[in-house]
Chain A
Amino acid sequence: MLIDQFPAIVVGVPLVAAALCAIVRNETACWLIALAVAFLSFVGSATMLGQIQEYGVALSYEMGGWAPPAGIELRVDLLSGYLLVLVSLIATAVLIYGRQSVRVEIKESIRGWYYTMYLLCMCGLLGIVITGDAFNAFVFMEISSLSMYTLIALGKDRRALAAAYQYLIMGTIGATMYVIGVGLLFTITGTLNLVDMADRLAPLLDTPAAIAGMAFVVVGLSLKIALFPLHLWLPNAYAFAPSAVTAFLAATATKVSIYLLMRFIYSVFGFGFAIEQTPIPEVVMVLSIAAIFAGSFSAIFQENIKRMLAYSSVAQIGYITLGIALANATGLTGSLVHIFNHAVMKGALFMLVGGIALQIGTVRLSDMAGVGKAMPLTMFGFVLGGFSMLGVPGTVGFVSKWYLAIGALENGWWWVVALLMLSSLLVLAYMGRVIEVAFFRERPEGAPPISEAPKSMLMTAWVFILACIYLGFDTSFTVGVAQQAVDVLMGGAQ
């Protein structure tokens, strides 16, 4: 059946298409290729997810016909299907959104390379999610990371070079730690297939190699996730990358690493060990809460809006990992839902800011005075996105925070709920600052007149803003899939 080939198509086609783009290098042609491929991946991912939901069986694809555990297995279950849909959806949307801003922000001679790298990056991210093999995940991690460093550095802002370099160092260290951890696990289990590894690891969990391996994998992935205090590479990378890259990165890159962390903690090491017997949940919880507050406080003091939103991402990642630490079905549901929700709302916000950057030429808060009057649609979208970040009921932000709060209550952790609610005030402080400047201040005298961002940018951003509200009411997709995926994760533990 054709659907059996989908896992290979979803990651294979972007890889081939990237090579094609590298040969063609004509901007429009590359864009069309990238768009078609991203959309194809999206359709493929959505079809697979629908299939799995319907039949309840994971799809497995044997690379090159070699059967796992010896061969590499591509494996799509509810959880990875959910992430695949997210990544390919965002990739498609950002391509539609980014055409205009890429034209402004990236030199013409390298625009073909931009689409090449974009496709490679997408291929890597999809690959991390789809593979059932620990080492293969490392390979895809490197594909996505290397292309991402390039993407960040493609912009005209020279500070992006330094940011990309730092990201490169940190990303490499993270990946190295991950691969050391996997190596340790390989030495005692003799397998790289995740399902197989989980089986063989079960009797060996209290060996030093397993524990050290776990520590290396968790820290390595924490670096990739940008979990506090390993988040320091993220703000600059987000702030100085071209707008479209930032929107794509913010919505997908860290999410995919969180997925891998969940896989390791819940599926490989297992709930009964990693959660119940080791202090991982406690450590992750402390770090998550620290991330929420440190990220938000830092966001309040940022003058660069993209940097502000980047710090806000650090905080939002804290919410997601908090759900992992809560270690119950409700909290984990909140975490998975927030992966999707945060991608949608932060993607939208970065897209809107990209539009502002295009029109006024900077992303400094002080230059945004009076933008509300000149770009009402953009700023109104920003306000709605801000509501979602705040967690106002009727937006996606509420849904995920709600599940996290209920998850904390199930553990009897009142103080976590209190901190969650308090952190919303900090969100208000930094989002409110932007809204105040944009709406309640006048544009300085003599400032050049500005108008709304190009239609393609504004419309894509607004589709996401509307999705923030639609998915805030109709939670059947996000919560529905997340709950089933949690069953997979928790079920795999017992």
Chain B
Amino acid sequence: MSSLLFHPALPILIGAFLILKLSGTARSIVLLGAPLVSFAFIWMTADGVILAIPYMEWTLEPFKADKLSRLFATVFAIMAFAGNLYALKQEKVLELFAANVYIAFSLGVVFAGDLITVFVFWEMMALASSTVIFSAGTATARAAGMRYMMVHLLGGVVLMAGIAGEVSATGSIAFTSMLPDTLPRALILAGFLLNTGAPPFSAWVPDSYPEASYSGMVFLSAFTTKTAVYVLARGFPGAEILIFIGLSMIFYGIIYGLCENNARKMLGYSIVNQVGFMVTAIGIGSALAINGAVAHAFAHIIYKALLIMATGSVFYVTGKRKFTEYGGLFRTMPLTAICCIIGGLSISAFPFTSGFVAKAMTSEAAYVGQYYWVWYLLAAGTAGVFLDVGIKLQYFVFFGKDSGLRPPEPPLHMRTATVFFAVLCVGIGLVPQQFYQLLPYSLDYEPNTPDHIVTQFQILLFSGAAFFLFLKYYGWHLVESLTLDLDWLYRVWGRKLAVTFTENSGSARDSIIDDLSKGASATIDGIHHRHGPDGILARTMPTGRMVFWAIVMLAIYLLVDFAFM
């Protein structure tokens, strides 16, 4: 049991509780120190099962390590450090508490050796991350957090059903690699996929994350989807269906991102898009592809957090979220602009950035694995990302039409965190071999070859040219619009839908929505009618009614018993 004391989640978990009580410098020390201690623990941890606990008829392995878990844990700890630094002055203690608990549970998932432990931490993560969203404190955040929590707990239900079936079929709770060839395994896969933002449940990412506070979204972007990538990489490498799911996520993210006017929401779509690359790679399943997926996850956490920090800083100083309200901010926020551009280049896999050295492996794996069509689509996806985050985001926020806003740079701790990640992005891109040593499979691979670099430049240049040509000849009219997504299917019962559909919605769509809302409220009213305080099944009953039911039951039993004899 004492080995549990060195579980990397523990320092951050304890830290989370400490910051509830502390303030000022002491709080800062805990916020920054806990991830460092955790980092040290991660690298002190030896491979193999470190703790096993007998539970019912099995053995739980709540603490088990190998290269894959250590890699994810490492980037989680780095992220925890930078995230806490960025959020150092966050006044909402609840958010910091929930975020650190959330990080600790994510570390719990990556060090879990059995399905039950995975499930427990998985659910706890869902609760903690919902709290991060809730703690933004606005009404929209509360509603979004509720939708987020419901989607995730539903996913947890599917996952648990799968685990129950799997354990019942195999008698083992070990979390090992499998293929979705039985119903239980398919359910486990579905439960995992929900957290990646796979269709048809992609919408929870852009729906909920932007509603978190400026710092809350930084935390959220890193852990839920990436633990999902981790469990997929461990549980379902080579499940071909993931290729299709991953590719659809890539293009879902690009297309919706291009239409989006809310900068933070666009980054939400971009998360789905990027995780799509990883899911595709896991679907390919070769050693190179898995390396690509986890390297991409590692790099992605850093550059996506960087982008969200930079746009979060803009949000923090201006209070605005929309592209149409931004423009020309590089004048007073040059440092943020440069960092954001570095993030944009990284996510677009610009040579000599972290994105390039990670994504190159996935493309190569698709090529070597003779998935040529996948290779083409990945290349197209890369071009799309560049268009989205590499250019559109930078252009409309920092350049483009001058909005007249002259906000200052954000506070020092926020700048430091942003610069730290910008440096990491470039650093990993420049010394890829040191980075590759962390990966689960040792392979001899060199990304920075002339051939790769030239190909990549071609892709990026042409998509860049497309953007500016388009801008010049047609203009880019970003409007306040609502892109219809599958989430309206489940958001309908929130009844707030009609309010959200204000502009750009034709009367036809209105009436559909109207009907759906009515249907949903009728359902809820129906349930309330029967089960509410005055419902037929719940109200304080006259005794006669109860006796009536007793007689009915007796009649039923007598009838069926005699009928069947």
A: residues with CB less than 8 A from B are 162, 165-166, 169-170, 173-174, 177, 206, 208, 211-212, 214-216, 218-219, 222-223, 229-230, 232-233, 235-236, 277-280, 283, 294, 297-298, 300-303, 311, 392-394, 399, 402, 405-406, 409-410, 414, 417-418, 421-422, 424-425, 428, 440, 473, 475, 479
Question: B161, B540, B549, B565: which contacts A206 (Cβ < 8 A)?
Answer: B565
- Tell me, in angstroms, the Cα distance from A230 to B165 when the chains sit together: 33
Which residues of chain B (506-562) have a CB below 8 Å from chain A? Answer: 527-528, 530-533, 535, 537-538, 540-541, 543, 545-547, 549-550, 552-554, 556-558, 560-562
Query: B123 is contacted by which of A223, A279, A311, A392 (Cβ under 8 Å)?
Result: A392
List 24 A–B pairs whose Cβ atoms lie within 8 Å, in order of A's numbering.
A170-B543, A173-B547, A173-B550, A177-B554, A212-B558, A214-B561, A215-B558, A229-B537, A229-B553, A278-B564, A279-B560, A283-B556, A283-B557, A283-B560, A294-B531, A297-B530, A301-B532, A301-B538, A402-B56, A406-B168, A417-B164, A417-B165, A421-B157, A440-B134
Q: Is A417 in contact with B154, judged by CB distance below 8 angstroms?
A: no
Measured between beta carbons, the chain A residues less than 8 angstroms from B562 are 208, 211
Binary flags per residue of B142-183, CB closer than 8 Å to A gives 1, else 0: 000000001001100110110011011000000000000001
- Whether A301 and B560, one on each chain, are in contact in the complex, defined by CB atoms closer than 8 angstroms, is no
A298-B549 contact, Cβ under 8 Å, with A219-B554, A418-B161: no
User: 0/1 per residue, B55-66, Cβ < 8 Å to A?
Assistant: 110000000000
The answer to whether the Cβ of B493 comes within 8 Å of any Cβ in the partner chain is no
CA distance A422 to B157 in the complex (A): 7
Query: Among A233, A298, A418, A424, which residue has its beta carbon within 8 angstroms of that of B538?
Result: A298
Q: Check B546–A170 contact: CB distance below 8 A.
A: yes
Let me know if B153 and A428 touch, CB within 8 A: yes
Interface of B is mostly: helix
**Within 8 Å of chain A (Cβ to Cβ): is B314?**
no
- Which 6 A-B pairs rank lowest in CB-CB distance, beginning with the nearest? A215-B557, A297-B531, A298-B538, A421-B157, A301-B532, A298-B531
Chain B residues whose CB sits within 8 angstroms of the CB of A394 once the complex forms: 120
Instruction: Name B554's contact: one of A215, A229, A473 (CB within 8 Å).
Output: A215
B116 interfacial by beta-carbon distance below 8 Å: yes
Given known contacts A409-B165, A421-B160, A278 and B561 CB-to-CB distance under 8 angstroms? yes
Q: Which residue of B lies closest to A410 (CB)?
A: B168
Whole-angstrom distance between the Cβ of A350 and the nearest chain B Cβ = 19
Give the chain B neighbours of A418 by CB distance below 8 A: 161
Chain A neighbourhood of B533, CB < 8 A: 301-303
Interface residues on B, range: 35 or more
CB of A399 within 8 A of CB of B565, answer no
A424 to B119, CA, bound (A): 14
Apart from the given pairs A170-B550, A421-B161, 6 other A-B contacts in the complex at a CB distance below 8 Å: A165-B543, A177-B554, A212-B558, A222-B553, A297-B530, A417-B161
Which residues of B are in contact with A by a Cβ distance under 8 Å?
53, 55-56, 116, 119-120, 123, 134, 150, 153-154, 157-158, 160-161, 164-165, 167-168, 183, 527-528, 530-533, 535, 537-538, 540-541, 543, 545-547, 549-550, 552-554, 556-558, 560-562, 564-565
Q: Which residue of B lies closest to A159 (CB)?
A: B540
- How distant is the Cα of A479 from the Cα of B553 in the complex, in angstroms? 32
Contacting residue for A229 out of B157, B158, B549, CB 8 A: B549
Interchain CB contact (< 8 A) of A166 among B150, B160, B546:
B546
A236: contacting residue among B120, B540, B556, B558, CB under 8 A: B540
In whole Å, how far is B98's beta carbon from the nearest beta carbon of chain A?
12
Q: A212-B558, A230-B553, A422-B157 are in contact. Are A169 and B543 (CB under 8 A)?
A: yes
Contacts of A393 in B (CB 8 A): 116, 119-120
Known: A169-B543, A211-B562. A311 touches B134 (CB 8 A): no
Contact A301 B528 (CB under 8 A): yes
Contact check, B161 vs A169: say whether CB atoms are below 8 A apart.
Answer: no
CB atoms of B537 and A298 under 8 A apart: yes
* Contact A219/B565 with A399-B56, A406-B164, A421-B157 known, Cβ cut-off 8 Å: no
> In the complex, A174→B565 CA distance in Å?
25
With contacts A166-B541, A278-B564, A402-B56 taken as known, whether A230 is within 8 angstroms of B546 at the C-beta atoms is yes
- Closest chain B CB from A308 CB (angstroms): 10
User: Which A residues touch B161, using CB under 8 A?
Assistant: 405, 417-418, 421
Closest to B130 in A: A432
Q: A215 and B561 in contact (CB under 8 A), knowing A222-B553, A223-B550?
A: yes
Q: A166-B546, A215-B554, A301-B531 are in contact. Are A414 and B183 (CB under 8 A)?
A: yes
Contact (Cβ within 8 A) A232 B541: yes
From residue B543, how far is it (CB to closest CB) to chain A in Å?
A: 5
CB–CB A219/B550 < 8 A: yes
Min Cβ gap B484→A in Å is: 26
How distant is A205 from chain B, measured CB to nearest CB, in Å? 9
Contacts of A177 in B (CB 8 A): 550, 554
Instruction: For the complex, give the distance between the alpha carbons of A433 and B416 in Å.
Output: 40
